[in-house]
Amino acid sequence: MSADPRSTDSSTMVTQLDGEPVEITVSVDMVKRGLLVAPAIIAVSGLIWQMEGAYSAAFAIALVLVNFALSAWLIATTAKISLGMMMGATLFGYLLRLGLIMLAVLLVKDAGWISLPALGATIIVTHLGLLIWELKYVAITLAHPGLKPARP
């Protein structure tokens, strides 16, 4: 009796992933790169939008870096429980993290030290810029998941 190849095994959704959490490694690398470019982003925002722009850029960079770290932590933690939990955390964690960014912006939008154009531009540019920059350093192979191995 042969098994139907189209059937799905429900046990794969409760399988946990063991091993090194590559999400944490990639996220830490992105945070390091974000901290590396933060002074330049803050300086440019300060030149364009004065001190309010510099403060807003610093706040936005902190939001982005916390967002990346929280994302990696959610995935790494739930992957140890089950794949189904990880998928749920990835989907609903994304919505939760967007909500937290929105809440943070709503809480400071009327503060005297904030520049909304600087805040919005920095959030968008920093998210996209760090993700695109990280593409150069991520190994998209099963042989070396996570960051590319260092060359000898």
pLDDT in tens, the chain (152 residues): 444 444 445 555 556 666 678 888 889 999 999 999 999 999 999 999 999 999 999 999 999 999 999 999 999 999 888 888 889 999 999 999 999 999 999 999 999 999 999 999 999 999 999 999 988 888 777 666 677 777 66
Q: What is the pTM of this model?
A: 0.81
86 SS3 class? helix
Q: Which two tokens stand for residue 58?
A: 């610093």
Residues 6+ apart with CB under 8 A from 80: 16, 17, 18
Give the domain ranges of the chain: 22-138
Q: Locate the DSSP E strands across 93-151.
A: 138-139, 146-147
